[in-house]
Amino acid sequence: MTTARSRTRDIARDAVREELAQVALGLFQDEGFDRVTLDGLAAAAGVSRSTFLRYFGTKEDVVLGAFDPLGGLMTDALRARPADEDDWSALRRALDPVAVHFSARPAERLALLRLVQGTPALCARLREKHVGWHPRLLGVLAERSPGASTLVRQVRVAAALDCLTVALEHWVAGDGTGSMAELLDEGFGAFG
């Protein structure tokens, strides 16, 4: 059973984590990701290095933590799709929460994506996150269409996440002014 004290502690921890992330992102944007050290991050945030490391294990975690909820959001959205909807359409609609996520705070999300796209190490780690989302999405597709081959399901999930990647790249190239949902629709439409 969750107590009020533990919920309060979790809220406080999340607030500190968010504050540290904001300081770090500002520093990364001002000085460049590769030039900023963990010691520099801790000093800018006014905490010790060990305190900073309690919240983020690496510099990459500071940036890519913003993407952590997306895998669960997509999985839940896919699971909620109507059973009679084809898998490709269901995968497209499963990305709606991502479009909402990026539309909610577009300037902040745009700066974050520019930082990721301009930093090879962050691009690689974000790609790892995408790969980590595959098993959950594949599991839901297996529940939805148990007769489909594993290969077909894997291709659909990989293609859907690549459509997401390309849509995000185009959104950044357009300075975040376009509709993420429309970019996703256009990308998915290339296969239809």
Condensed to tens digits (0 to 9), the pLDDT of residues 88-111 reads 999 999 999 999 998 888 898 999
- Under DSSP, the state recorded for 48 is -
Last residue of a domain, one of 18, 36, 57: 57
Within this chain, do residues 174 and 112 fall inside the same structural domain, yes or no? yes
User: Looking at the structure, do residues 40 and 16 belong to the same domain, yes or no?
Assistant: yes
74 lies in the same domain as 49:
no
- 76 and 141 both lie in a single domain: yes
Same-domain check for residues 31 and 71: no
When divided into structural domains, the chain yields a total of 2
pLDDT of residue 105: 87
Q: What is the CATH number of the domain that holds 106?
A: 1.10.357.10
Instruction: For residues 52 and 78, state if they share a domain.
Output: no
Same-domain check for residues 89 and 37: no
In which residue are the tokens 């902040």 written? 108
Quote the domain boundaries for residue 86.
66-189
Indicate if 71 and 148 belong to the same structural domain.
Answer: yes
**Residue type for 149, please?**
S
The string of pLDDT tens digits covering residues 108-167 is: 899 999 999 999 999 999 999 999 999 999 999 999 988 889 999 999 999 999 999 999
User: Which residues are CB-contacts of 144 (< 8 A; sequence separation ≥ 6)?
Assistant: 78, 81, 83, 87, 90
